[in-house]
């Protein structure tokens, strides 16, 4: 390959497409390189230093590694490939990448070499969650006894694969983070493509044609043999194949042999050695292939390999003869414990709290009565977070027929309605994808982890042959507060109100105004008699917030008429709390908070709901009455402040310079009302 040979003269290369700069300096690859050339120094990457911290996060090297640049190694290095166990998935993906020149040129930009512009700096581009990132590295590589420790080209005068691995390790935090993985994961990061998985024993009848079309379109293909337990990893089968090892599918052939047509498949072992000893092996007539590749009958392939992974560079339907342009929609979201991490349908009480994505399918696929789309759900940055003990979660999704309303669906909907489609399985892979054909109409897609309370960020991609309108039902925000009731004349007061007046006057004195401390005494004296409301006491903080909400005079005290208006609110809020305190424990689950707040007039989006749960729920994801009341008081206070500042536009606040002094303070109240 023409990548990164030592060159005596500069070469002209096409300029790579734009990708987001990731270096902490904020400078692009070219800016950093020019700086080194002007100063006459070789680049040293402080973001990914030549030290053990870049190698491992949980252990120390058993031998002393020496970081060397290719120019120092090339004269002494022997053509031996040392690899760490668990890296075959990355090796297989790189081997597959080399079969597609356009994809390779995207990942390995050709505006760099060891020629006149060499400055010890290289860059590589990877796809991450719907965007391309440009990762800059220096070319210092870990060695032991003058040999590369990790990836190494068979041609010891080439270093592009070792540098690519280093950039990928930097993207994920360390070399150790690359231990163990799925080939399709790296394939997607190299292409931005979408994955499809096939079990050979369950593959469709036209599986050979599917693979043939995928290869013609430049898709990357990998295959492997499943293991039943850890002891089988890297074990050899009687036919010489390695279990749990990632192979690359490199091609298909049809040959005439002894008067019949035989379908063949070519498979490559990225480690460079193959011991396949079945029909069509290099030990068997009628042909032989290179030591790194094996050729076998397609029927034998299906019998000996369990899984095939296809990374489509575009999600064109592999079973259709015509090429299609697909529309792509991306949704970024999160599963957050206590608010949007509801788990799968097995957990009905929390499943409905998961993010809900509405799909509007309006145009049928050409020549079909249904609409075709592909849904790919990816959990983000799990490999990068391995150093913190984070592993891949078991994820999947379900699709439901949507009722005629654009709002977050409640638990009762899922109690009485079954899903129309779902991912094939919930599995602990980075991405789960599936292809669906549904009649035109509106649908709800629910992405989730299998277990509730598990946190992760996710990226959901919807690919469709025709344009699909999608939106997140959790992003709507609305406040609908009832107008405060007018005070009742003293002569029309109920017996309860007369008792309140007597207690209020006893505490407040002749001015009939109470401080926060006095209000705390009054409310606790009243609420302690509410036997249905199990709680210890209202806090002083809640009472201060109540005065902040109800004090119209601005003197920091609460008058009796203001107290009466608040009491009407409080009675309604108490009834809601009792309604959602399902087990009568005196606490409310944070997962019920969305519905409780909506009943109180606050329809919140997921982001605000997550902030509220983070602030008010305890470690068991429960809110007692004091937390619940404090939350409602602050929400109403923030809403009324916002309404006062947005007279002309209900969605935005516009400030002029004369309003800044007061309005900045009020705007701060809006934020602090939610998170303090």
- Residues belonging to the active site: 88, 245, 269
Residues near 14 by Cβ (< 8 Å), separated by ≥ 6?
A: 105, 110, 111
Q: How far apart are CA 245 and CA 274, in angstroms?
A: 12
Name the nearest CA neighbour of 289 among 262, 269, 259, 304: 269
Dist CA 467 CA 444 (whole Å): 16
Separation between Cα atoms, residue 629 and residue 372, nearest integer Å: 48
The count of residues in the chain is 676
Rounded-to-10 torsion of CA 198, 199, 201, 207? 10
**Rounded CA gap, 338 and 344, in Å?**
15
Q: Which pair of tokens denotes residue 262?
A: 């035989």
The structure tokens 């329809």 sit at: 603
Dihedral (CA of 500, 503, 507, 512) sign = positive
For 258-342, strand residue ranges (E) read 260-268, 293-297, 307-312, 327-335
In angstroms, the Cα distances linking 619 to 62, 486, 591 are: 41, 40, 13
Whether 3 and 112 have beta carbons less than 8 Å apart is answered as no
Minimal CA–CA distance to 427: which of 395, 379, 381, 391?
A: 395
User: Of 147, 185, 184, 152, which Cα lies nearest the Cα of 166?
Assistant: 152
Helix, strand or coil, per DSSP, at residue 487: coil
**CB distance 19 to 109 below 8 Å:** no
C-alpha closest to that of 293 among 251, 245, 322: 251
Start-end of H helices in 436-534: 495-508, 516-527
Distance CA 501, CA 505 (A): 6
Distance CA(631)–CA(611), nearest Å, equals 11
Judge if the upstream peptide bond of residue 286 is cis by omega within 30 degrees of 0: yes
Structure-block tokens of residue 579: 């309604």
SS3 breakdown of the chain: % helix, strand, coil, rounded to 5? Answer: 30, 20, 45
Report the distance separating Cα 560 and Cα 544, nearest Å: 16
């Amino acid at each position: 390959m023409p990548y990164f040979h030592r060159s005596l003269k500069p070469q002209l290369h096409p300029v790579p497409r734009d990708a987001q700069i990731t270096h902490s300096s904020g400078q692009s690859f070219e800016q950093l390189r020019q700086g080194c050339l002007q100063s006459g120094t070789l680049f040293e990457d402080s973001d990914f230093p030549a030290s053990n911290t870049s190698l491992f996060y949980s252990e120390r090297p058993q031998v002393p590694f020496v970081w060397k640049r290719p120019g120092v190694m090339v004269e002494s290095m022997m053509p031996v490939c040392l690899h760490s166990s668990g890296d075959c998935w990355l090796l297989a993906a790189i081997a597959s990448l080399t079969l597609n020149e356009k994809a390779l040129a995207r990942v390995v930009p050709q505006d760099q070499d060891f020629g006149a512009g060499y400055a010890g700096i290289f860059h590589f581009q990877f796809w991450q969650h719907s965007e391309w990132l440009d990762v800059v590295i220096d070319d210092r590589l870990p060695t032991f006894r003058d040999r590369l420790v990790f990836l190494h080209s068979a041609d010891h005068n080439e270093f592009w694969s070792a540098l690519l691995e280093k950039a990928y390790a930097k993207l994920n935090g360390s070399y150790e983070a690359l231990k163990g993985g799925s080939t399709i994961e790296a394939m997607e990061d190299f292409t931005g493509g979408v994955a499809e998985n096939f079990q050979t024993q369950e593959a469709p009848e036209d599986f050979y044609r599917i693979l043939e079309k995928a290869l013609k379109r430049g898709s990357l293909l990998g295959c492997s043999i499943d293991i039943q337990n850890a002891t089988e990893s890297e074990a050899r089968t009687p036919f010489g194949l390695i279990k749990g090892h990632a192979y690359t599918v490199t091609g298909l052939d049809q040959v005439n042999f002894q008067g019949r047509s035989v379908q063949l498949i070519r498979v490559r072992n990225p480690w460079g050695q193959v011991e396949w000893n079945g029909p069509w092996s290099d030990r068997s007539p009628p042909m032989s292939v290179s030591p790194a590749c094996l050729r076998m009958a397609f029927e034998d392939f299906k019998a000996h390999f369990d899984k095939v992974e296809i990374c489509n560079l575009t999600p064109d339907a592999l079973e259709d003869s015509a090429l299609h342009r697909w529309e792509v929609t991306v949704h970024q979201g999160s599963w957050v414990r206590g608010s949007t991490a509801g788990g799968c349908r097995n957990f009905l009480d929390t499943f409905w709290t998961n993010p809900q994505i509405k799909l509007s399918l309006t145009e049928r696929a050409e020549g079909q009565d249904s609409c075709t789309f592909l849904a790919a759900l990816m959990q983000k940055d799990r490999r990068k977070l391995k150093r913190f003990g984070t592993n891949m979660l078991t994820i999947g999704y379900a699709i439901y027929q949507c009722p005629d309303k654009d709002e977050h669906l409640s638990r009762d909907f899922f109690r009485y309605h079954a899903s129309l489609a779902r991912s094939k399985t919930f599995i602990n892979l980075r991405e789960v994808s599936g292809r669906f054909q549904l009649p035109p109409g509106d649908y709800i897609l629910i992405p989730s982890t299998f277990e509730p309370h598990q946190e992760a960020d996710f990226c959901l991609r919807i690919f469709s042959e025709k344009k699909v309108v999608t939106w997140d039902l959790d992003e709507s925000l609305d406040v609908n507060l009832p107008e405060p009731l007018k005070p009742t004349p003293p002569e029309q007061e109920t017996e309860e109100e007369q008792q309140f007046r007597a207690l209020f006057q006893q505490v407040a004195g002749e001015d009939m105004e109470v401080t926060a401390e006095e209000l705390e005494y009054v409310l606790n004296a009243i609420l302690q008699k509410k036997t249905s409301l199990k709680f210890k006491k209202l806090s002083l903080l809640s009472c201060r917030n109540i005065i902040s909400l109800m004090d119209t005079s601005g003197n920091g005290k609460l008058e009796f008429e203001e107290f009466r208006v608040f009491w009407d609110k409080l009675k309604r809020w108490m009834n809601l709390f009792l309604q959602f305190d399902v087990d009568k424990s005196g606490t409310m689950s944070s997962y019920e908070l969305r519905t409780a707040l909506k009943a109180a007039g606050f329809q919140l989006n997921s982001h605000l709901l997550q902030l509220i749960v983070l602030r008010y729920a305890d470690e068991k994801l429960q809110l007692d009455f004091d937390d619940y009341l404090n939350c409602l008081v602050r929400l109403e206070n923030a809403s009324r402040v916002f309404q006062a500042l947005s007279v002309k536009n209900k969605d935005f606040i516009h400030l002029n310079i004369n309003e800044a002094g007061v309005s900045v303070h009020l705007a701060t109240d809006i934020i602090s009302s939610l998170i303090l």
